[in-house]
Amino acid sequence: MRVDLTGKIALVTGAARGIGLAIADRLAREGATVVRTDIIAPDEPNALPLDVTDEAQVDATIAAVIAQHGRLDILVNNAGIGTGPEDRTDIDKVSTAQWNRVLQVDLTGVFLVSRAGAAAMIAQGGGGRIINIASVVGLVPLRLQSAYVAAKAGVANLTKSMALELAKHGILVNAIAPGSTETDAWRNWINDASSEQQTLYTRLLSHIPLGRAAKPEEIAHAALFLAAPASSYITGHVLTVDGGWTAGYSRDF
Ligand SMILES: NC(=O)c1ccc[n+]([C@@H]2O[C@H](COP(=O)([O-])OP(=O)(O)OC[C@H]3O[C@@H](n4cnc5c(N)ncnc54)[C@H](O)[C@@H]3O)[C@@H](O)[C@H]2O)c1
């Protein structure tokens, strides 16, 4: 898909690696000027350090983008943390610290950056796109990661409430709900030769109708679609990109 984003100013959070990096690269390839932000400052000229949980830094970063580029057209809220295998546990054992951290980054972070980004878009006369990276587990919960499930469900509904409120300013707000996506952590897992890990991985793939995880570039393609000028009548939508995982229960009998 070719989309002309020439002259558009985009900001992507969590853009140092994984899905965020793929989205930033794709928007840039289609002509957008992309400000790449991450808690670990990406190593390149148009990059800024940004911890999405730091309210003052969020507001300063949006102000810096407006000061340098004059506007903000596309905001991608991608930064997020999952629940690592070592933290997976039933609700009666989830620590308050773990709960708070996941909610802070995955939900409050989206709120803080969206608030500042939407204010900037309204101030420039309206128009713009906000694209939130949710997760399929925000739509179909998994066990043992209640904080992540709750945060991502929050992102899906926050997307819809923002779409309702910002429509009058011509700002379109949508989300992508990726399924399992092959980022660095995934590749480490796939390359772990232990039979226990390989069995787990095979079992996981058996629940995905397409039989494989997504490439980050396939999530980036969906982000480009939502950012495209021609996608001008889509707002409040949560787009699953999951190889069919949420289509139904993919059992083998
Ligand atoms: N990989 C998957 O299977 C998958 C599936 C569904 C949804 N997602 C979502 O996609 C998004 C990207 O995930 P990924 O798999 O690319 O992960 P990743 O860990 O490879 O990349 C996440 C990036 O976010 C950054 N980050 C973490 N905390 C931050 C903070 N407080 N402020 C700013 N940046 C911060 C990290 O430094 C990292 O560069 C996340 O929101 C994640 O929940 C991923």
Substitution candidate for ligand 1 out of 19, 61, 218 with most atoms within 8 A of CB: 19
Residue type, 88: R
- Å from CA of 252 to ligand 1 middle: 31
User: What whole-number distance in Å separates Cα of residue 54 and Cα of residue 196?
Assistant: 39
Domain membership flag for residue 247 = no
| Number of domains the chain is built from | 2
Domain membership flag for residue 253 = no
**Whether residue 17 is found in the same domain as residue 54:** yes
For residue 236, the enclosing domain spans 9-179+214-242
**Whether residue 169 is found in the same domain as residue 188:** no
**Whether residue 139 is found in the same domain as residue 159:** yes
- Nearest atom in ligand 1 to the alpha carbon of residue 51 is 32
Q: Whose CA is nearest to atom 36 of ligand 1?
A: 14
C-beta separation of 116 from 59 below 8 A: yes
> Is 249 among the residues known to form the active site?
no
User: What whole-number distance in Å separates Cα of residue 47 and Cα of residue 61?
Assistant: 11
Instruction: Say whether 49 sits in a helix, a strand or coil.
Output: strand
Domain membership flag for residue 228 = yes
**Whether residue 81 is found in the same domain as residue 190:** no
| pLDDT at residue 63, rounded to an integer | 98
**Whether residue 204 is found in the same domain as residue 79:** no
- Containing 176, the helix (H) or strand (E) segment is strand 171-178
- Nearest atom in ligand 1 to the alpha carbon of residue 19 is 16
Q: Whose CA is nearest to atom 17 of ligand 1?
A: 18
Domain membership flag for residue 64 = yes
Please, which contacts does 214-217 make with residues 24 or more away whose CB atoms are closer than 8 Å? Answer: 214/178, 214/179, 214/180, 214/181, 214/182, 214/241, 214/242, 214/243, 215/22, 215/181, 215/182, 216/18, 216/19, 216/21, 216/22, 216/181, 216/182, 216/183, 217/22, 217/26
Report DSSP letters for 54-89, one per residue.
-HHHHHHHHHHHHHHHS---EEEE-------GGG--
User: What whole-number distance in Å separates Cα of residue 106 and Cα of residue 19?
Assistant: 14
- Å from CA of 136 to ligand 1 middle: 14
| pLDDT at residue 143, rounded to an integer | 96
- Å from CA of 66 to ligand 1 middle: 25
C-beta separation of 159 from 236 below 8 A: yes
Strands 47-49 and 171-178: unpaired
**Whether residue 220 is found in the same domain as residue 209:** no
pTM: 0.98
**Whether residue 129 is found in the same domain as residue 148:** yes
**Whether residue 89 is found in the same domain as residue 151:** yes
The total of other beta-carbon atoms located within 10 Å of residue 211's CB is 11
- Nearest atom in ligand 1 to the alpha carbon of residue 213 is 3
Torsion over CA: 21, 19, 160, 28 (sign): positive
- Å from CA of 59 to ligand 1 middle: 21
Report DSSP letters for 118-134, one per residue.
HHHHHHTTS-EEEEEE-
Substitution candidate for ligand 1 out of 183, 207, 208 with most atoms within 8 A of CB: 183
User: What whole-number distance in Å separates Cα of residue 19 and Cα of residue 24?
Assistant: 9
- Nearest atom in ligand 1 to the alpha carbon of residue 219 is 10
| pLDDT at residue 187, rounded to an integer | 84
CB hemisphere CA count around 42 (13 angstroms) = 23
**Whether residue 148 is found in the same domain as residue 101:** yes
Measured from CB, residues less than 6 Å from any atom of ligand 1 are 13-14, 16-20, 38-40, 50-53, 78-82, 105, 109, 133, 135, 178, 180-181, 183-184
Determine the Cα angle at 228 with ends 227 and 232, to 5°. 95
**Whether residue 142 is found in the same domain as residue 175:** yes
CATH number of residue 98's parent domain? 3.40.50.720
Residue with tokens 């020439």: 6
| pLDDT at residue 43, rounded to an integer | 77
- Angle, helices 109-123 vs 55-69, to 10°: value is 30
The active-site residue, picked from 148, 201, 233, 249, is: 148
Where the chain has pLDDT below 70, the residues are none
Hey, what are 59's tokens?
Answer: 């507001």
**Whether residue 189 is found in the same domain as residue 120:** no
